[in-house]
Amino acid sequence: MRSGLPKVLQPLAGRPLLEHGIAVAESLQPNRICVVYGHGAEQVLEHFQGRDLEWALQEPQLGTGHAVQQAMPSLQADDVVVIMYGDVPLVRATTIENLAKAAATGPAILTVFETDPTGYGRIVRDPAGAVSAIVEEKDADDDQRRINEVNTGLLACPVKLLGPWLDALKSDNAQGEYYLTDIVASAVADGVSVAAVTADSSTEVMGINDKLQLAVAEAAYRERTAADLMRAGVTIIDPARIDVRGQLSCGNDVLIDINAVFEGHVELGDNVTIGPNCVISNTRIAAGTTVNANCVLEDAIVGENCDIGPFGRLRPGAEMKQNARIGNFVEMKKTVLGVGSKANHLTYLGDAVIGDGVNVGCGTITCNYDGANKFQTVIGDNAFIGSGVELVAPVNIGEGATIGAGSTIGKDAPAGDLTLQRSKQITIKGWKRPEKNKK
């Protein structure tokens, strides 16, 4: 990968390659998941720290058969083990489930048909069509190289059969490695039939070995995700220009415009519209809300029938109640904007609790940080905050209060009254602007 990051930690759709495989395995609720690791061990272990995984170190790394041997102490004799690969991120859970079911009494291999099988192990079948061997390309003869059914590397097998076959593996091949695929020949020699499950496409089982293949997989993942969303009723203006880097759930009649990026866990309610060029992370958006163009939402909660942007930003802890609005170049952080309240232009609201029916004028800011500590601003229901106001926290604005434009408010403003703070306006007669010295 030409990177300081181990291959299995390279990001695909915002998650490490290995995370995709683990997520598929977890979805099938196995008895245990054992990860065999080697290159970049320290980084891999650190990334998955705290996860319910078992780990087996492969050192030295002597091939796929040798890798599986390292995991055998973690397995029980009555288990069926499914062997997956950390650099094969697009395999579907249904495919793995079918593979496991096919291995009830003997080994099952996952195969795929390739137009160009170069580089893959070939599936050799006997005259009756049964799998008789897997031959790696470097060890294949000319006839075998013409076979276009190839091995994906994914395999399932009862543990009680797999153990003895692994122990019998030899490394007398072109690579000098212990091939897991050689257990197929052992099974045939022992009179145990080998099942073959065929993957739907080569894309599903593609391995990642460089940044070009990573980009191809990213595009395939994007296409698959968009197709799943559209089948579920989501309108996507251009399926090639949506990125889901996590989990996106959508209600009915959701519309997503171009270049939308969804990260982490995002929920969109019925009739939500996402405009172009938006980035939405770990956010819940209720029904009927419109997010206009070029907005960024992170760790936020948005109520029903809200309107955001264009160029709006919700930072962590921001919450908009129903029918609230923030307009262009408005930023909220750790702030609640009440029912029907609005901040339409060029405003920063941080560490604030804003009641219902409040109007926040253009250019208003809550001065919440003194250089060491954060303080809260509280604005009561139906207050009116004029344009260009600075609210110096901690401060409370009473219910129905009006704050005059251009004021700097550092003391509590009483309910129902007009509060303003302005210096006296003066005009200096005869004043002239300074001029640059002539050269």
Q: Write the pLDDT tens digit of every residue in 347-381.
A: 999 999 999 999 999 999 999 999 999 999 999 99
Mean pLDDT in residue range 19-46: 95
Active site residues per annotation? 345
Cβ within 8 Å of residue 435, ≥6 positions away: none
Tokens, residue 310:
């264009």
Same domain, 150 and 242: no
User: What pLDDT is attached to residue 437?
Assistant: 86
Same domain, 94 and 178: yes
Mean pLDDT in residue range 322-340: 98
Mean pLDDT in residue range 395-414: 98
- In-domain check, residue 215: no
- In-domain check, residue 400: yes
- In-domain check, residue 214: no
Q: What is the pLDDT of residues 281-327, one digit of tens each?
A: 999 999 999 999 999 999 999 999 999 999 999 999 999 999 999 99
Same domain, 251 and 181: no
pLDDT of 149 over the 90 cut: yes
Same domain, 252 and 194: no
Same domain, 264 and 393: yes
- In-domain check, residue 254: yes
- Work out the pLDDT band at 131, boundaries 50, 70, 90: very high
* Cβ–Cβ under 8 Å, residues 297 and 315: no
User: What pLDDT is attached to residue 439?
Assistant: 74
Mean pLDDT in residue range 239-268: 97
SS3 217: helix
Same domain, 315 and 415: yes
User: What pLDDT is attached to residue 40?
Assistant: 87
Same domain, 49 and 150: yes
| Whole-prediction pTM | 0.90
CATH number of the domain to which 383 belongs:
2.160.10.10
Q: Which of 157, 177, 198 is the last residue of a domain?
A: 198
Integer Cα distance of 403 and 400 in angstroms: 10
Same domain, 170 and 274: no
Same domain, 156 and 256: no
Cβ within 8 Å of residue 264, ≥6 positions away: 245, 246, 247, 281, 282
User: What pLDDT is attached to residue 39?
Assistant: 83
- In-domain check, residue 320: yes
- In-domain check, residue 296: yes
* Cβ–Cβ under 8 Å, residues 248 and 228: no
- In-domain check, residue 408: yes
Can you give the residue range of the structural domain that contains 28?
A: 7-198
* Cβ–Cβ under 8 Å, residues 185 and 97: no
Sheet strands (E) in 259-400? 260-268, 273-274, 279-281, 284-285, 290-291, 296-298, 301-302, 307-308, 313-314, 319-320, 325-337, 342-354, 359-360, 365-367, 377-379, 384-385, 390-392, 395-397
User: What pLDDT is attached to residue 122?
Assistant: 94
CATH number of the domain to which 15 belongs:
3.90.550.10
Same domain, 162 and 40: yes
- In-domain check, residue 429: no
Same domain, 169 and 79: yes
Same domain, 182 and 236: no
Integer Cα distance of 323 and 305 in angstroms: 5
> What is the number of structural domains in the chain?
2
